[in-house]
Amino acid sequence: MIGWSWHSDSTSRTEASPRTNTPRPSSSWPQPVRELLRGAHQHVALESNGEIQVFDIWESQEAFDAFGPTLMPILAGLDVTLHEPMVGLVHNVIQG
């Protein structure tokens, strides 16, 4: 598994991305979304100092790369400029 983390100076929470404190299992997502996110294990977005920071866990780099052609036009449409992401192997996940 890989962890992928990024932030952007140009992002902030909007009504289009409402805050939720309740984890949502992927089985509750519509089928087209589940297909797009095949290989995604976890997605967390947090707000810090007016920026949104994202941390994802993916099954593999290849799974994430397959999602890139979907993700990048969405971010471009929202005028989001990304800083260089941090990518690394996941060594431990603790579910509470």
Fold of 2-12+30-89: Alpha-Beta Plaits (3.30.70)
* CA angle (48 as vertex; 43, 54 as ends), nearest 5: 20
Q: What is the pLDDT at residue 84?
A: 86
28 or 52, higher pLDDT = 52
16 or 82, higher pLDDT = 82
Average pLDDT over residues 13-36: 59
Residue 1: burial class (beta carbons within 10 Å; 0-12, 13-18, 19+)? middle
Tokens at residue 12, please? Answer: 């902030």
Q: What global pTM score does this model have?
A: 0.69
pLDDT above 90 (res 89): yes
Bridge partners of residue 14, in order along the sequence:
none
59 or 11, higher pLDDT = 59
Q: What is the pLDDT at residue 31?
A: 65
- For the chain, the structural domain boundaries read 2-12+30-89
Task: Provide the pLDDT confidence category of residue 14 given band limits of 50, 70 and 90.
Answer: low
Contact in structure between 83 and 7 (CB atoms under 8 Å): yes
pLDDT above 80 (res 38): yes
